[in-house]
Amino acid sequence: MATNPMHQFEVYKIGPEINFGGINLSFTNASFFMTLSSVLILLLLFFGTKKKSLIPSKIQFITEMSYTFVAKMINDTAGNNAKSFFPFIFTLFMFVLFSNMVGMLPYSFTVTSHIIVTFVLASAVFLGVTILGFIKHGFKYLELFVPKGVPAVLLPLIIIIEIISYLSRPVSLSVRLFANMMAGHTMLKVFGGFVISLGLLGGWLPLGFSIALTGLEILVAFLQAYVFAILTCIYLNDALNLHH
Amino acid sequence: MKNLKEISTRLEIAKKKIEKNDQKEGSSNAASLGKALKISTELVAAVVVGTTIGFLLDSWFDTKPLLIICFFFMGVTAGILNVFKLAKKMNEKISKLRK
């Protein structure tokens, strides 16, 4: 059981089964770890902003750093217009980051290694940005699919290609996060299994590998949250400032 | 107050260090890894979406292999277009940093 590398991704329910109109709404380990990362974010932000001193304590420093990091990212990629979307992108970034990081703890569960979770996040971004574009520009938003300076003969083909390219956004956004998290955790588990099966004689090499991989996974966990947030900013930029 | 003065000089030094780091950000390892991860999935996703649309349209119009082939190639084109657009955006950013 413990040697199966895919066992760690199993979702099981905690506590009683809750059925609501034929829909299974039981509290699962996935819901528990989502709640845990949300609570951790809230605690960090609460204690980080509680005592505002000129010389920041460590926790205040982390809070301020994450704030300026996201604010700078929005300013660099989406411009000043996107300032009002700061809460959304900050929430998204912190949630993905904390889910990834909580998943790095032993015996925990990585929420973002399930494609349904990442796909819901990505499609929320996708739908939101599309609706925002239509609100801001009306039907002129459809000009996004018509690049400038294309001969009329090629136009139907180009429009279909542009629409496919637009529709691929939520897919690439969600698959990237999910695949990276799942591949990394599976690999960690496989190398961990090698340590046990090779024993005291040959187990040292995979042990070294899995230590190095843990470091890499922490980097990937941060990087994926960053990439998710920065791509959301790029899509926001496309919707807010319509140009090609 | 002496304490504050000391901290402000330390802040100055730290700021200079950050500025130095910012200048060579284009070659930083973690940033490049992020870019590589970003681009690679972009290519695959468009192919998947294109093929799925082709498959759905095929089963609607009963034109079994025809549309899936067409949309597969369009998906490939869209993927290359995605990569091209992203790369162009990165290029703009780097040239802005160098100015």
Provide the residue range defining the domain that includes A199: 7-240
Smallest CA–CA distance, residue A162 to chain B, in Å, is 7
Q: Which residues pair with A24 in a beta bridge?
A: A19
A144: tokens are 């996004």
Backbone Cα Rg of chain B: 24
Of B35, B43, B11, residue with least CA distance to A231: B35
Residues A165, B81: C-beta atoms closer than 8 Å: yes
Minimum Cα–Cα distance from B97: chain A residue: A76
pLDDT of B92 reads 78
Smallest CA–CA distance, residue B48 to chain A, in Å, is 8
Interface of B with A (CB under 8 A): 4, 7, 30, 33-34, 37-38, 41-42, 44-46, 48-50, 53, 71, 74-75, 77-79, 81-82, 85, 89, 93
pLDDT of A24 reads 80
Smallest CA–CA distance, residue B34 to chain A, in Å, is 6
Residues B33, A223: C-beta atoms closer than 8 Å: yes
pLDDT in tens, A72-85: 888 888 878 888 89
Q: Rounded CA gap, A111 and A182, in Å?
A: 10
CB-neighbour burial class of residue A211 (10 A; exposed 0-12, middle 13-18, buried 19+): exposed
Of A185, A214, A229, residue with least CA distance to A95: A229
B7 contacts in chain A (CB < 8 Å) = 55
CB-neighbour burial class of residue B1 (10 A; exposed 0-12, middle 13-18, buried 19+): exposed
Q: How many CB atoms lie within 10 A of CB A2?
A: 9
On whether the CB atoms of residues A57 and A51 are closer than 8 A, the answer is: yes
Q: Is residue A140 part of a domain?
A: yes
* Residue of B7, B37, B45 lying closest to A168 (CB–CB): B45
Ordered by start, the domain boundaries in chain B are 2-98
Nearest-5° angle of CA B83, CA A171, CA B67? 85
Q: Rounded CA gap, A9 and A11, in Å?
A: 6
Which amino acid, A110? T
Q: Name residues whose C-beta falls within 8 Å of residue B48's C-beta, 6 or more positions apart in sequence.
A: A168, A171, B75
On whether the CB atoms of residues A96 and A37 are closer than 8 A, the answer is: no
Q: Is residue A1 part of a domain?
A: no
pLDDT in tens, B1-33: 567 888 888 888 888 888 776 665 544 666 677
Smallest CA–CA distance, residue B46 to chain A, in Å, is 5
* Residue of A160, A169, A223 lying closest to B74 (CB–CB): A160
B72 contacts in chain A (CB < 8 Å) = none
* Residue of B34, B44, B81 lying closest to A226 (CB–CB): B34
B71 contacts in chain A (CB < 8 Å) = 164
The complex's ipTM works out to 0.71
Minimum Cα–Cα distance from A228: chain B residue: B38
B48 contacts in chain A (CB < 8 Å) = 168, 171
**Packing angle between helix A86-103 and helix A115-137, nearest 10 degrees?**
170
Measured between alpha carbons, how far is residue A243 from residues A82, A139, A167, A218, A239 in Å? 16, 14, 18, 37, 9
User: Which of the residues in chain A have pLDDT under 70?
Assistant: 1-3, 243-244
Of A244, A235, A241, A238, residue with least CA distance to A92: A235
Smallest CA–CA distance, residue A172 to chain B, in Å, is 5
Task: Quote the percentage of chain B above a pLDDT of 90.
Answer: 7
On whether the CB atoms of residues A62 and A40 are closer than 8 A, the answer is: no
* Residue A23 DSSP label: E
* Residue A51 DSSP label: S
Of A96, A130, A112, A137, residue with least CA distance to A230: A96
Interface-testing mutation among B7, B35, B38, with chain A (most A C-beta atoms within 10 A): B38
* Residue of B4, B34, B78 lying closest to A164 (CB–CB): B78
Q: Is residue A2 part of a domain?
A: no
* Residue A154 DSSP label: T
Smallest CA–CA distance, residue B12 to chain A, in Å, is 14
Q: Is residue A37 part of a domain?
A: yes
Mean pLDDT along residues B56-71: 88
Total domains in the fold of chain A: 1
CB-neighbour burial class of residue A22 (10 A; exposed 0-12, middle 13-18, buried 19+): exposed
